[in-house]
Chain A
Amino acid sequence: MRDVLETLNNPPYDVQKIREDFDFLKVGESPTIYLDNGATTQRPRQVLERVSEYYKSENANPLRGTYHLAAASTEAYEQARKRVAKFINARTKQEIIFTRNASEALNLVAYSYGFEHLEEGDEVLITRMEHHSNSVPWQFVCQKTGAKLVYAELDGDFQLDMDDFASKLSEKTKIVSFTGTSNVLSSEPDVKKISEMAHSVGAIAICDGAQMVPHHKVDVQDLGCDFLALSGHKMYAPFGIGVLYGKRDILQHMQPFMYGGEMIEYVQDFSASYAPLPYKFEAGTQNVGGAVGLHAAIDYVEAIGFDKISAYEQALGEYCAIKLRELGTCNVFHPTKGPRGAAVAFNVCGVHPHDVASILDYKHVAIRAGHHCAQQLHRGLDIESSCRASFGIYNTKEEIDAFIDGINFVRETMGLTK
């Protein structure tokens, strides 16, 4: 606890200055204490202004049109792609495919790779803590191909049980798809090790990075995963822009996911050849405004520095978990050992999560209640639903203290304090 307090009282970067960039945090007489960053983050002025600037002076349909604006739009779009490639250390920008979000990125792999490579007798290995976007597509592909979906379970400390994972990995495993950070528990599986293990049996490794990339420096070459999915809106960028990173050799041999404009090379009456990477996977007019916003968001977080962000956010998560445990009135679903991040799931004993969230809302504290798109996980924990407080670069110790007071107020309101 002493280290945690030390980090929170002397943050590695100027948190108050960062807060100034987020108008959302200042709206109204009693601004919202926003603890739902795992769902979506707020956007700093720098991102909003860059997007607005793009629409004011650079907007045109990218990759088509011969006038100069179309060129400016294409340039902005390709600069964003380059920026993402550098951000996650991809070998080339051909490995960066823009999607709407991480869900679409994972669906792309499920359809374009899964359908082509899976057959009866094969297995797809995922974990108990996947978001529905990394389990439901695999359910579907397995149903259609006859492959078997296998779950690696958790250990008693809400971490992926690596022994169980190893025991379920075999020559039959063709695809290993796993989260880099649980959106509920915030446990952080070892992406590098899991990727190595997957490769050792000849499987490909797909990492759902939606909850990892906003909080950690990610180097795909070092991690070694074959695919990585991320969502812009969870990392201070606009809605509607996400990324699929894929190794070039693999992407090159994959069929397109969506068909239409811009993804073609030559179109005959009854067949077509497809554009080179990455355009093969980007059908139709693309979300340039979103890509430009993502570019600005990456600039923004990297200017703070991920070593500092990770250290500070981990302290927020740890402080919150400690405080909740201290109350003695909550069940806390958060690891006590091993790598863990900036989200804390919990239940207030005797109070349904919906009621917790509604009553906290009355105190201007925003948290998430429900199954968080992870029903298999909740079944595994033997609960119906949970509450989740999740943190971002702008949250503070004071906000967590107010949230903890809020939990006491919840119990009071529900008549549990007498």
Chain B
Amino acid sequence: MDLKQIYSSIIMEHSNNSEHKHELEHATHNERGHNPSCGDDIQLHLNIDGDIIKEAAFTGHGCAISQASTSLLCELIEGKTIEEARLACQKFIGMITGDEDDMDELEDILGDAVALQNISVMPQRVKCAVLAWHTLSDMLEK
């Protein structure tokens, strides 16, 4: 494994200067996601209007992987419908667990977030990568 596949430029960019890392003044939905074992702790803030996620942002702290993953999630779901966001969560988690491997389809649905696919070679970091997506999933269930 090449470490650069995991700490790639896109992941470093999203983890260091995410445009989505801020409070959301008009948030309609907020949800906390927490990995007690490793301490990653994020808050997702969404502004949902009818069926559309108009804005997505996050706050909190954690490792580069969890921060980048959360930022990529926000970028992806802005402007999407709730149903599309649900499908993205399902596909992302499937990609990390190895249950989804149709790369064309994954790239279509997940966009830049496919950059996290290689995290599956570091089993102890999988939790960091899926945290935001599980959090969003929980949020949309409610």
Interface residues of A (CB under 8 A from B): 351-355, 358-359, 362, 369-371, 384-385, 413-415
Q: Is the CB of A354 within 8 A of B3?
A: no
A359 CA to B90 CA, complexed, in Å: 28
Within the complex, which residue of A353, A358, A369, A371 is in contact with B122, where a contact is CB–CB below 8 Å?
A: A358
Q: Cβ of B22: which chain A residues have Cβ within 8 Å of it?
A: none
| A355 and B38 contacting across the interface, CB-CB below 8 Å | no
Query: Cα distance A354–B12 when bound, in Å?
Result: 14
Contact status of A413 and B65, CB under 8 A, knowing A354-B38, A370-B39, A385-B39? no
Q: Across the interface, which residues of A come within 8 angstroms of B37, CB to CB?
A: 370
- On chain B, the residues within 8 Å of A362 by CB distance are 1, 3
B65, A354: Cβ atoms under 8 Å?
yes
Indicate if the CB atoms of B61 and A384 lie closer than 8 Å.
Answer: yes
Neighbouring B residues of A355 by C-beta, 8 Å = 7, 63-65
- With a cutoff of 8 Å between Cβ atoms, the chain B residues found around residue A358 in the complex are 6, 122, 124-125
Report the bound CA distance from A414 to B39 in whole Å: 20
Give A352 to B68 CA distance when docked, in angstroms.
12
Q: How many residues of B contact A (CB 8 A)?
A: 21
CB-based nearest A residue for B124? A358
Q: Which residue of A lies closest to B16 (CB)?
A: A415
Q: Which residue of B lies closest to A353 (CB)?
A: B63
Q: Main secondary structure on chain A at its contact with chain B?
A: mixed
Verify if B62 is at the interface (C-beta below 8 Å from A).
Answer: yes
A37 smallest CB distance to B (angstroms)? 19
Q: List 29 A-B contacts (CB under 8 A).
A: A351-B64, A352-B61, A352-B63, A353-B63, A354-B39, A354-B40, A354-B62, A354-B63, A354-B64, A354-B125, A354-B128, A355-B7, A355-B63, A355-B64, A358-B6, A358-B122, A358-B125, A359-B3, A359-B7, A362-B1, A370-B39, A371-B39, A384-B61, A385-B38, A413-B4, A414-B7, A414-B12, A415-B12, A415-B16
Interface residues of B in 33-49 (CB under 8 A from A): 37-41
Chain B, 86-130, CB within 8 A of any chain A CB = 122, 124-125, 128
- Chain B residues with CB under 8 Å of A351's CB are 64
Q: Which residues of B contact A (CB under 8 A)?
A: 1, 3-4, 6-7, 12, 16, 37-41, 61-65, 122, 124-125, 128
The interface residues of chain B lying within 8 Å CB-to-CB of A370 are: 37-39
Cα-based distance from A390 to B30 in the complex (angstroms): 40
Which one of A353, A354, A370, A414 has the highest number of Cβ atoms from chain B below 10 Å of its Cβ?
A354
CA distance A413 to B7 in the complex (A): 7
> Which 9 pairs between the two chains have the least Cβ-Cβ distance?
A354-B63, A352-B63, A385-B39, A355-B64, A362-B3, A355-B63, A413-B7, A384-B39, A415-B12
Assess the B3–A413 pair: CB atoms within 8 A. yes
Task: Give min CB distance, B21 to chain A, whole Å.
Answer: 14
Which residue of chain A is the closest to B9 with respect to CB atoms? A415
Structural contact, A352 and B7, CB atoms closer than 8 A: no
A303: shortest Cβ distance to chain B, in Å? 36
Given A354-B63, A358-B122, output 6 extra A-B contacts at Cβ < 8 Å.
A358-B124, A362-B1, A370-B37, A371-B39, A384-B39, A413-B7
How far, in whole Å, are A352 and B122 apart by their CA atoms in the complex? 16
Set of chain A residues within 8 Å of B38, measured between Cβ atoms: 354, 369-370, 385
User: A321 to B62, alpha carbons, bound, how many Å?
Assistant: 25
Cα(A44)–Cα(B63), bound, Å:
35
Interfacial chain B residues near A415, Cβ < 8 Å = 12, 16
CB-defined contacts of A371 to chain B, threshold 8 Å: 39
Q: What separation, in Å, do the CA atoms of A358 and B6 have in the docked complex?
A: 10
Q: How far is the CA of A254 from the CA of B63 in the complex (A)?
A: 46
In the complex, A369 Cα to B1 Cα: how many Å? Answer: 21
Contact of B64 (CB < 8 Å), options: A352, A369, A384, A385? A352
The residue on A at minimum CB distance from B40 is A354
Could you say which residues of chain B place their CB within 8 Å of the CB of A354? Answer: 38-40, 62-65, 125, 128
Chain B neighbourhood of A369, CB < 8 A: 38
How far does the alpha carbon of A354 sit from the alpha carbon of B64 in the complex, in Å? 8
Chain B residues with Cβ below 8 Å from A385 are 38-39
Chain B residues, Cβ within 8 Å of A353: 63
Nearest Cβ on chain B to A124's Cβ, whole angstroms = 25
Residue among B37, B39, B65 with max Cβ neighbours from chain A (10 Å): B39
Give min CB distance, B53 to chain A, whole Å: 28
Minimum distance in angstroms from B121 CB to a CB of chain A: 11
Residue from A352, A353, A414 with most neighbouring chain B CB atoms (10 Å): A352
Q: Whose C-beta in chain A lies nearest to the C-beta of B41?
A: A384
Q: For the complex, give the distance between the alpha carbons of A351 and B63 in Å.
A: 8
Q: Give the chain A neighbours of B125 by CB distance below 8 A.
A: 354, 358
Question: In whole angstroms, how far apart are the Cα atoms of A362 and B63 in the complex?
Answer: 16
A207 CB → nearest B CB, Å: 28
Q: B72 CB to closest chain A CB, in angstroms?
A: 16
**Least CB separation from A356: chain B residue:** B63
Instruction: Please indicate the chain A residues that have their CB under 8 angstroms from the CB of B65 in the complex.
Output: 354-355
